[in-house]
Structure formats: structure tokens, C-alpha cells
Structure 1
Amino acid sequence: MAWRRDGSHEGIATRMASTTFLLRVSNAGLALVSQVILARWMGEHDYGLYAYVWTWLLLLGGLASLGLPTAIQRLVPEYTERGDFDRLRGVLREGSLLTLGTSILTAGSACALLWLSEDSFLDSEYHWPLYLALVCVPVYALLEYQEGIARSYHWANLAFAPPYLYRPLILLAGLACLALLGITMSATVVMWVTLASIVVAGIGQTVVLWRKLRKVVPAGGHRSDLRYWMTIAWPLLLIDGFYLLLTYTDVLILQRFVGPNEVADYFAATKIMAILSFVSFAVSTATAPRFAQYAVSGEREKLSSFLQDSIRWTFWPSVAAAIGLLVFGEWLLWLFGPDFVDSYFLLPLIAIGLVARAAVGPVERLLSMAGEQKLTARIHAGTLVLNIVLNLILIPLMGVAGAAVATSIAMIAQSVVMAIAARRTLGVKVFTRRAFGFSRT
């Protein structure tokens, strides 16, 4: 078809977004199937334990990479455009080593803290699953960095298939083998299989990625510019860190007020509604390199036009997905187990915040790629503080519903502030008729 051969910026972005969306939809299906299987086999209690330690893995794995997975998406186009292949080769190699080193240090420090705290921080039943989750952190962080490299070259399959397709398939295969052997699916056992799936996916992605890089990056020397790289990466780390904390704060705070069963109910509801975020993720992934290019070249009109198109690609598919998930929500929850159906009331509360975020499209990524990392980080910091305060107030009053309401309010506030920031700093309008598909001009 013509769109597959279109070499324009919009054509490349459309293909990238489409491929990413298909991979993330496939991952959503696999993730939902695996979570349903886990909930059925483990029971609410162990599933709640697993949900909590998995959240820590996602959080620490994202933070340990120091913002480099996002920074590399700006550095690769910049060095390629300038023909500075020495620094390009340097950041590709040293960034991988730095990510691996800092993630090992992060995981080791967390293991030591957990060992020293004994039962003062967590009940003993959390300990072994959490230790295994921490062992996963270095490989998970390396996968994140290599995903950023692949995204920079528009290699969507290589970027997303290993973490979002192959890893869940390996996990499902491993769990099926254990089920046939009659092994009890405790949180510890499942984390062992999770560790194996992450390691296998990471090795495969590493081998393929460096083979492809040898074909597109000319051979030569390496030049380090660590101070410049970290100047870009540190604000992005703050942005990514605040975003991750905003995403997972509800689960982490819930554990302090409710038991594993309630955590399991909430986690299942968030897993179902997380499908909404895949649209935003796909569009954001496709548009980031183009935002960087337009920002560097100073093409403000193209930047504004491209953002409005991106919002249209994000908002209406997200609305349609939200409606579909709410219609089939009770059935989806029943798949986890009959006891999970009672948590249906959480779905619309979670959906409100996600749709609000979709209404501003990838404006957060635009600000980051246009050099406004510090401003974006401050916005995320304010949103995180708001979210924590609201969770601490509302969870004791409303239970799991309080976590959903708090997070949605924080997302709405963040979206409004991001739109205002884009208008004031870049002169880019967010809420326009064209952005929502009512006008093409």
C-alpha cells in the first residue's frame, strides 16, 4: 500500500505508530492472558504479592537507566545529522555499560536495604519474591536502553517485540510447563519464571541490535562526552522517574493500608485499563524523533501542525478503547476470578485520568525533545506531590477507590499544565479544532 512506501516524515511516523500499536496490542492480549492465568492459579493473596513486587521491578528498572533510554532518542538523530559518528559510537557503547553498571548498583543497594530492614518494612512473605524482582532490574534496565536505541532508528519490531511480545510468550510457556508438572504457583515461583523470561528476551535483543547497528553506523573510534549526555539525561531521568512514581504510587501506597487481596483487585483493574495507554505510547514513540528534528531546525509551524495531528491520532482511539473496556469490563474482571468482578467500579474512575492524558497527546514528549526537560520535570514533580498527598488522604477514607480517584485527579491536573506550558514556551497550541479532528487546516 502507498502508506507503507511513503518516505515523508508523516509516513514514517504513521508506520512507526502503527507497528508499535500492533505490538503493544499483542502485548496487551498476552499480558492480560498471563495476568488472568496468574490470578487464577495463584489466588488473590499471592497475586497481590506478585503485583506489589512487580511494581517495584518496573519502578527501579526504569529509574536505574538514568534517563538514557529517552536521551538516546535525541542524541542519535543529533549526532547522525551532524555526522559526528565518533560520539555516536561512544554513546551507544558507553550508554549500555553505564546503564548496566548503575542498575546493578541500584539492585544491590535495594537488596541490602531489604536484608537489613528484616520485617520492619515488609512482611516476610514479600521478601523472596522481592529479592528475585531486584535481580531482574539490571537486565530490565538494559532492555529499556536498547529499546531507546532501536526507537531512534525506527526499528519498531526490535524495540518492542522482545520486551512486549517475546518476554510474555516465554513467561506463558514457562508457567504452562510448571502447571503440567503440578508445581504450586506461589509468588516466588512466578518471579523465578519472570526472571528467566527477561534474561532470554534481553540476550536476544542485544545480539540482534548490535548486528543491525554495525550496518548503519560506520566503523571507527569512540569519543566520550559524558557531561553533555548526562546534561540531557538527568532532566529526562527526573521526568521518567516522576512519571513512573506517578504511575505506581497508588499500588505502593495501597500496600501500606490494605491487604494483598485488595492490592490484587486494584492491580487487575489497572491492568485492564492500561490498554488505553497503548495508543498514547505508540504515537509518542513514533513522534519523538520528529519532534526533536523540528525543534532543532526551528520549524515551529511544522512542529505545531505535527503535534495537532498527533493529538488526533491519540485522543479518539483512546476514547473508543475506553468505551469498549467499560462495556466489557465486568467480563474481563471475571476472567481473573469471580471475586474480581466487584472491583468494576474502579474502571471508570481510572479511565477518566487516562482519557484526560490522551486529550493532550504526546505534548510531554514534545517538551522534552524541544529542550524543555527541566520544565517538564518540574511539572511531573508537582503532579507527583499532588498524587501522593491525594492518595494518603483518600485511600484511608475510600480504600481502593481513593487510589483511583487520586491518580485520575493528578493526571487531569498534569495534562492541563502541560498544555499551558507548551503554549507559553513553544508557542504551540494544544486544544484546537484540528487537534480533535474537526478541521484539517
Structure 2
Amino acid sequence: MRPFLEEAKAVLAELVALPTVSAEGRALEAGAAKVAELLEGLGLRAELHGGYGPTVVYAEGGKGEKALLFYNHYDVQPPDPLELWESDPFTLTERDGAWYGRGTHDDKGELVARLVALRLFRERHGFLPWVKFVVEGEEEVGSPHLADYVRDQRERLRAEAVVWEAGGVDAQGRPYLYAGLKGIVALELRVRTAAFDLHSSYGAVMENPIYRLSRAIASLRDEEGRVLIPGFYDRVRPLSPTEMEVLAEIPDEAEALKAAFGVRDFLGGARNLEFNQRLFAEPCVNINGFHSGYGGPGSKTVLPAEAFAKLDFRLVPDQDPEEIPELLKRHLEAQGFHDVEVVVLEKGEHPARSDLTHPFVGLARRALEEAFGQKAVVYPNMAGSGPMHPFLHHLKAPAVGLGVGYPGSRVHSPNEHIRIQDFERGTLALLRLLELYFLGR
């Protein structure tokens, strides 16, 4: 194992040991302090910024005429369900050529890869380039304060380009980069039909909230996944010729993903360009959970008094997350569901997509191809969401994501991990990007 991998493993073990679960408010101050310590150890000046939810770690240092900004986060998802983990989620464990633990990919492993790449750059070239870091502690709960932070600190954060939090290789082992993220708004639908749970015999004359809510949910999309809410697609920005060209170049991973995910098929049997366009360039609605009534062993003859469902909408440029709940309310009322309450759970995130013709996108692609020795896949944006929009909006700089994961990393699930070979090659790709960006060679 290369020496830098041993160093990376030790640092990653320190970070994974901190249970920085933002949804539960756990160990966030300790996580911020540790990140600041690691950045200072690299030779940067680190500051802890309060007033924007959990502490934001900002760091800056190095030499050069142009700056490169790195975005990461130190918070992680809850480890539940614990019984499905094969090892302690907050103890870094190496087995079968991979590092296991909560945050190994999302996002502590990605942060460590950047620290190691910068250290390798300094060892090879004798100086640290001018870099900046923003490392927040509430990405996993929707980054509700980050837009305000970036707006207020935009002059300090100013950079010519941004390296986003994650990336890696696809299901076939090809390196990829992405230049944007979908937006998101998370909601809850609630229905109450009685003051308390009733005997199920009243089902002959009483409305059941499960039936009521299931009908409301069924009205939101068709069998192929297209959203049926009037006005939902009105703001969707048409794809540019370059974006369509990039989507067409993305290899068809439908069959590989079917096997990896254990699913029978995809909505509408989508394949090739249709699959890529729907996944990366079209909005959608998803039901996260449906809760009501009795779910224990055996039978309980009850008519529930209430039911609720959680859902999220993934958005693309130029949809507005603040408009979507209003469109949803109007749709439900028009369909006769006046009794369905719509509750916004989190401050939404705007979609973001960088200009794919920007030179920095080309540099990132070249760095991946030189490090991996094969053609890189470019995604106009990922299917997931994140707080990229304020960086593009306030800094007027492109953002590109590349990193050390793979589709089987089990992000947000038990047994989250990264393969050591992916970490190694991803770190070397970051090093190569630093050389191309700062040295021009």
C-alpha cells in the first residue's frame, strides 16, 4: 500500500470516529474542530464561523494568482438501522479491499482525498497552491443556512472555480465528473378523518385516511413517472445542444444498475438516451414513506384516524423550490383533496448546472482521463441534490464534482464504504487537476 494511503486511512479513522449526525445534532462542534485542525495541519489558516447553523469551517492559504475553492461537509446521515451493519459504523474497518464506516464516502473520505492530494502537490512541487475550503455541518439536513453564508461571505469565497464534494467511478469503473445538481423540496402530506382510531367495523360508514391519502398520492404522477401537477414543467429550461450531446455520450448503465440495485426494470423501460435524460435532466416526484395504522405482528382490527406521507420533488433549472408546494396545493384542491394538508419539511434547494463549455470542466475531464487511463464520463448534473446553486449564483464560477466513490458505496445506507483502489485513483486525479489548474501542465 502506498504511504499516502496509510496516512489517509489514519486521518479518515479519526473523522469517522466522530458521530457527526446533523439530524440528531451529535458531535458537530467536535467535527468542526477536527476539520479545522486538519486544514491547519496542511498549512492553511482555518476559521470557525458561527451564526449559520452548525459551525462552518473556512480555510484559506497557499500561493498563486487564482484561487480554487473546495466544498465539503463534515456531517453524516444517521447510521440506522444498526443491526444491518457488519461492523461499528463509527469505527473505520478495512475488509475486502475497502474502508467501511459512516461517512467513508459521504463526505469524510472525499475531504481526506483532497487533503492528501494537496499534500502530495506540495511534496512534488515545493509549495501549496492558493486554495480555499468551505466545510459545513448540515448538508445532510438540506443545508438550510448555507445560501445565506455564501451570500454574506461571497467576497472571501471568491474563486475562479469550485471543486464539489464527491464523485468517483460508474458501475463499469469509468471515472466521471458532474457539473451540477438537481434542486429539491421535501414535503409531508397529512390526512385526519377522526379524532382517534376506531374499530374497523366502522369502515362500512367511515372514510379511511389511508385510502384518502393513497388516492391523493396516486394523482401526482403517471405510470411512467411523469408528474401530473399543472404548471410543474413550465419553468424547466430547455437543454442546450452541448447538454444534449453530453447526455447522448453517457454510456447506458441501465442493465448494470438493474443488477446492482436488484430491481426488475426502470419506469417506462427507459434505456440509453431516454434513461440518461430522465435521470439527470428531468424533474420527478418520489414518495419517501407512508405511515398509518397498525404494522405489528398479527392482526389489529382498527380504522386509523390519520395518515401521512413524506415525499420530495427533484428539480432542474430553472424550477423554483418555493413555487412547487403552491402548485401541489392547487392541484390537490382541484382534484377534490381539500382535506390533505401540505407541510414543507425543509427549506428547499435550487437546482444548479455549470456551463459545460467552461475551460475548467475540460481540465477536470483531462485530469480524470490521465489518472485513470480511460475516457471520462461527463454528467451535466447529478440526479441527486445539494447546495451548489448559491456558489454558482454568488461567485459566478463553475463547479465540478469528482471524487473517490462508486455506485455500490451504499451512501446513506448501512455498510457505507469506499474501495481503496477508487480512493487511490481518485486522489491522484485530484492531484493531476491541481497541476493542470495551477501549473498549466
What TM-score results when the alignment is normalised by the length of structure 2? 0.29
Which has more helix, going by share of residues?
Answer: 1
Q: Which has the higher strand share?
A: 2
